[in-house]
Amino acid sequence: MAARISAGELPAGTRLPPVRQLANDLGLAANTVARAYRDLEAAGLVETRGRGGTIVTAAGDRAREQLLAAARSYAALARDLGIEIGEALSLVRTALDPGMTPPVK
């Protein structure tokens, strides 16, 4: 769910299913889902409103904004260093997946 929130698939204001319903839908124990919801709340991605349910906060949107700002800074640095787009993107892929072999130039 954290990935879906960060990706914007679950926008701010989206109400998540009740713990028991989601547990039944996924075939998990209710305690497992409740723990996941607590972890999402601790990360600031959701807010529990008692009988109002669990709601996605705007933190996911802020995370995307922060990532976009970092990407813009990276792009500016790559341009300043004369790194071609393909190589810059390859370096990002390597950073996202540490198991990948870095590009050789």
DSSP track, 8-31: TSS-TTPEEPPHHHHHHHHT--HH
Of 12, 38, 35, which is closest to residue 23 (Cα–Cα)?
35
Note down the domain range covering 78. 61-96
Same domain, yes or no: 85 and 44: no
* Same structural domain, 22 and 37: yes
pTM: 0.58
Convert the pLDDT of each residue in 51-100 to its tens digit: 889 999 887 667 777 788 899 999 999 999 999 999 999 999 998 887 76
**Are 7 and 32 part of one and the same domain?**
yes
Tell me what the pLDDT averaged over the chain comes to: 88
> Does residue 104 lie in a domain region?
no
